[in-house]
A and B are shown apart, each in its own frame.
Chain A
């Protein structure tokens, strides 16, 4: 199962990648939204793990772009962000966001569990 990880903090993306790969997932990383859309289009991942604040933009233009393509709009998105307490999950749901995790309080297992629930 492929995961596209969109995270601009390089050390955090190393951390997430290690956890996913150890559990049998193939991971492709993009640090910014512009590269992410090409990567998602190419990889057609089972899940997108997405940070909200990215290099050059927020994740919102990327979410809008994904929704404008019938096939890409169906890919579930796990949003992992330190802004989670300030975001409304209900608002994000129509953009394909299935889980909203707070970087400051989550356990690495929570991320894995979220992805697993979408790839079973």
Chain B
């Protein structure tokens, strides 16, 4: 009998409860912010420009929260195998992600740039899952980047072209060791919430699950002035046949 079945016999699935508490904690932050913004709209004397800005912030915060809820749903359904792997252009995907996240970055006074490359690469991946991994990296980098230096998104070939790496480099304070651990331990126990700075690392944990579903891996390199997150996936052989 599996551990989770044991837990169900007792009436409570503690593993699910842990995940639920962490997800609830993670969603509390955007919901609290939305409430603060709504209260300002309701009770503050605001100029038209301020009203537009608050409305934009509410939209961006909602979208970020919705990304997390959709990620959680998809992570639960990974075992169903209802996604396909296909050849995709990772450079183009990076451009699309940078475009999608740019309103949030602009509102926060940050910038995300895609590093140009000459030779095209082709990867085997599920486009939606890979997009979600990069959006998770981008959400995370927003916390850890400074105003002066853009976050960089780049694509490179590794292991003699067998593996494609999509990496996101931010420039800011060093990555807390807890975020690093969350990559390796998956979703943690509820009591860990209080020990974690800023975020539970749930987004990064989901990114790891998405990568593994595509036979890929997620990793991070800590730098003195920031961090690089990457996802490694297999290259498509199609280009070499041309």
Would B197 and A108 count as touching, CB distance under 8 A? no
In the complex with contacts A9-B29, A82-B32, A104-B28, A58-B197 CB distance below 8 A: yes
Say whether chain A's binding surface is mostly helix, strand, loop, or mixed: mixed
Would B43 and A108 count as touching, CB distance under 8 A? yes
Docked complex Cα distance between A103 and B107 (Å): 21
- Return the CB mask of A35-63 against B: 1 if under 8 Å, else 0: 00000000000000000011111100000
Would B32 and A104 count as touching, CB distance under 8 A? yes
Of A14, A54, A86, which contacts B197 at CB under 8 A? Answer: A54
Would A11 and B61 count as touching, CB distance under 8 A? yes
Would A15 and B33 count as touching, CB distance under 8 A? yes
In the complex with contacts A55-B173, A56-B173, A103-B36, A11-B144 CB distance below 8 A: no
Question: Which residue of the partner chain A has the closest CB to B108?
Answer: A10
Would A32 and B173 count as touching, CB distance under 8 A? yes
Question: In this assembly, does B158 line the interface, its C-beta being within 8 Å of a C-beta of chain A?
Answer: no
Would A55 and B144 count as touching, CB distance under 8 A? yes
Q: How far is the CB of B189 from chain A (nearest CB, A)?
A: 15
B residues 19-42 in Cβ contact with A at 8 Å: 25, 28-29, 31-33, 35-37, 39-40
Question: In this assembly, does A12 line the interface, its C-beta being within 8 Å of a C-beta of chain B?
Answer: yes
In the complex with contacts A34-B173, A108-B39, A86-B194 CB distance below 8 A: yes
A-B contact count (CB 8 A): 77
In the complex with contacts A56-B174, A82-B32, A11-B60 CB distance below 8 A: yes
Docked complex Cα distance between A109 and B197 (Å): 27
Would A11 and B107 count as touching, CB distance under 8 A? yes
Docked complex Cα distance between A70 and B16 (Å): 47
Docked complex Cα distance between A68 and B37 (Å): 36
A residues 48-94 in Cβ contact with B at 8 Å: 53-58, 82-83, 86
Docked complex Cα distance between A22 and B35 (Å): 20
Report A-chain residues with C-beta under 8 Å of the C-beta of B50.
Answer: 18
Question: In this assembly, does B14 line the interface, its C-beta being within 8 Å of a C-beta of chain A?
Answer: no
Question: In this assembly, does B185 line the interface, its C-beta being within 8 Å of a C-beta of chain A?
Answer: no
Docked complex Cα distance between A82 and B54 (Å): 21
Q: How far is the CB of A86 from chain B (nearest CB, A)?
A: 7
Docked complex Cα distance between A103 and B110 (Å): 24
Would B194 and A83 count as touching, CB distance under 8 A? yes
Report A-chain residues with C-beta under 8 Å of the C-beta of B144.
Answer: 55-56
Report A-chain residues with C-beta under 8 Å of the C-beta of B143.
Answer: 8, 31, 55
Would B35 and A104 count as touching, CB distance under 8 A? yes
Docked complex Cα distance between A11 and B176 (Å): 22
B residues 25-82 in Cβ contact with A at 8 Å: 25, 28-29, 31-33, 35-37, 39-40, 43-44, 50, 54, 57, 60-61
On A, residues with C-beta under 8 Å from B are 8-12, 14-15, 18-19, 22, 31-32, 34, 53-58, 82-83, 86, 103-104, 107-109
On B, residues with C-beta under 8 Å from A are 25, 28-29, 31-33, 35-37, 39-40, 43-44, 50, 54, 57, 60-61, 107-110, 142-144, 172-176, 194, 196-199
